[in-house]
Amino acid sequence: MFESLSDRLGGVFDRLRGRGSLTEADVRAAMREVRVALLEADVALPVAREFVDKATEQAIGQQVLRSVTPGQQVVKIVNDALVAMLGGDGDGSAAELDLGVTPPAVIMMVGLQGSGKTTTTAKIARRLSGGQGGRERKKVLMASLDVNRPNAQEQLATLGTQTEVATLPIVAGQQPVDIARRALQAAKLQGYDVLMLDTAGRLHVDQALMDEMRAVADVARPAEILLVVDALTGQDAVNVATSFSQQVPLTGVVLTRMDGDARGGAALSMRAVTGKPIKFAGTGEKMDALEAFHPSRVAGRILGMGDVVSLVERAAETIQQEDAEKIAARLAKGQFDLNDLRAQLQQMRKMGGLGALAGMLPGLKKAQSAVQQVGGDKVLIHMDAMIGSMTEKERAKPELLNAKRKIRVAKGSGTTVQDVNKLLKMHQEMAGAMKKIRKMGGLKGMAAMFG
Ligand code: GDP
């Protein structure tokens, strides 16, 4: 899975990474190749287009970090775009099942015949029940609502025995909605935590199937409705997912046959076409062949450039660190002018909290609580504007700011002379704190003091 896509992208990036500089045209050409690679991997056209547009815009707008090459930076941007495409919310970790608060939580499985629905029902049940090494220990009941396919209900019962998960006794001739009702009642009466409903599939999407899904959902009020799709069916899987998501309120997708040699397009398109995360990947016929779907890991596998991605992440961190160290070096010499204050204020704003040094310096802690008291971010913006309205000389030597100059600064920054005075007082207090620190033997002495 993903192999040929991985090879294609690898080729594009190998060519980029060797280069010392990249023009906009280079980036655009590379992204065109990325687009072709995605389409060849069976990614849906609109999904591929949006992906490439976003990544291109980012790559062109991006300032290149010191200590990485532009090509490396582009790899990182494409990696992040892949994670987003696969449905990573923020950290790229797997989306969990949401089982609600009042048991029994109903998990309804939907999908076409042969997609792996019954197998996946039993795999998830096993995982939740802790049977055969599953992680959680929930009391799970499974019920098959498939009255179309001969022996479907027996197939689930067999898997239940195999996985040591209870199944609802079969009543011949009962219809899906009635089975769902009976299953729900049994689950309530017998204190089950989770009820898994394996619904009937069809060979194709048809209206009768959709109506049946909706009727069952009305009765069972599922916490999760998981669509099972076969990754090997590629573009068809995408079409199936689109139809289902338009008619049934899905909460997630399970992609089966990820162990096969699918080109991967289904996996890559699924989030975009359904708006729902892939929660699990089926990776084989055995009952333990089910994995949580981690977008960041999958992206890593596709690009095969985990080292480059972490290099760029580290470089970004290092630069913050270097900026902090530069200020620290000045402080150690007892220098703390309004430029230094401004740099710290900007860092506070960027990081939404204390600047990198603030944890170490009592003066900065004071500044921050002062800022919070008077209203947070807005104040930081005002302070930045005031310092911005000063001349370079005034910033280096705040004592130059007499009454006349203060009026000019206040006017220039849309603040008042009072505000300017507050800023200067804060700077003075901080500079004083820095001097004390220096007397104690600089940052080293302070570090010793704070242990
Ligand atoms: P249903 O008709 O949707 O209920 O499909 P089944 O659960 O009966 O699965 C159909 C076939 O696909 C069975 O032979 C399963 O063992 C197989 N199968 C299901 N999931 C996977 C998977 O993730 N990988 C592989 N290789 N086979 C799978």
Model confidence pLDDT, tens digit, residues 408-438: 999 999 999 999 999 999 888 877 777 776 6
433 vs 12, higher pLDDT: 12
- 3-state secondary structure (DSSP) of residue 196: strand
Provide the mean pLDDT of the chain.
82
Give the per-residue pLDDT at 196.
97
- 280 in ligand 1 pocket by Cβ < 6 Å? no
pTM: 0.70
- From the candidate CATH numbers 3.40.50.280, 2.60.40.1120, 3.40.50.12780, 1.20.120.140, the one assigned to the domain spanning 3-90: 1.20.120.140
Q: Crossing angle for the helix pair 377-388 and 417-439, nearest 10 degrees?
A: 90
Nearest CA to ligand 1 atom 6: 116
390 vs 21, higher pLDDT: 390
> pLDDT-based confidence at 447, cuts 50/70/90?
very low
441-447, long-range: CB within 8 Å, 24+ apart, which pairs?
442/332, 443/328, 443/331, 443/332, 443/360, 446/360, 446/361, 447/360
Task: Write down the domain spans for the chain.
Answer: 3-90, 105-293, 334-450
Q: What is 334-450's CATH superfamily?
A: Signal recognition particle, SRP54 subunit, M-domain (1.10.260.30)
Atom of ligand 1 nearest to the CA of 198: 4
CA distances from 336 to 129, 147, 433 (A): 61, 78, 10
- 118 in ligand 1 pocket by Cβ < 6 Å? yes
Q: Give the contacts of 23 (CB within 8 A, at least 6 positions apart).
A: none
- 3-state secondary structure (DSSP) of residue 116: coil
- 257 in ligand 1 pocket by Cβ < 6 Å? yes
Query: Is residue 287 a contact partner of residue 123, using CB atoms and an 8 Å limit?
Result: yes
Model confidence pLDDT, tens digit, residues 186-196: 999 999 999 99
Using most ligand atoms within 8 A of CB, pick from 259, 285, 291 the residue to mutate for ligand 1: 285
**The CATH number of domain 105-293 is 3.30.750.210:** no
Report the length, in residues, of the chain: 451
ipTM of the modeled complex: 0.98
Across 14-23, 91-100, 232-241, 298-307, which has the greatest mean pLDDT?
232-241
- 126 in ligand 1 pocket by Cβ < 6 Å? no
